[in-house]
Amino acid sequence: MKNKIAYLGLFAAVAIIFGYVESLIPVFVGIPGIKLGLANLAVLFILQKYSWKEAAFVSVVRIIVIGFMFGNMFSILYSLAGAVVSLAVMTVMKKFSGFSILGISVAGGVSHNIGQLIIACMIAMSSSLLYYAPVLLISGVITGLLIGILTQEILKRIRF
């Protein structure tokens, strides 16, 4: 139990550091709102090693800390919306053994963007933002694949 708490704290700290690093990059690939999602690497790792509850804990901690340090209430709201949808999708996919870590990560990236798009439409009270969906879906696949590859490599190297 003590080791588990230490690992959760360690990965929450890693996620916060990754969030800080991403905050230094003004806009990923020149498209507003698109980020690599390095902080999600820690969440995906914890989801693979423990359960959705621990992954949710790390995710919420990193979202709140990063939001207060480098964002605002809207960034926290958007991140929480994306994280809830993403974690739910990844948890369901993890339960079905046919999906690899890459598939789970891609689904997480896409669903994270869908969650953020839904909350953006609700805040703006307009469905006109849905025109941005194709860009977000493509970026979710690409970033999800990259985060999945990184997580897969880390899972090979860290044993506990």
pLDDT at 158: 84
Phi-psi region of 105 (alpha: psi -120 to 50; beta: other; left: phi over 0): alpha
Per-residue pLDDT tens digits for 35-59? 888 999 999 999 999 999 999 999 9
Q: Against a cut of 0.85, is the pTM above it?
A: yes
Per-residue pLDDT tens digits for 79-129? 999 999 999 999 999 998 789 999 999 999 999 999 999 999 999 998 888
d(CA 137, CA 5): 34
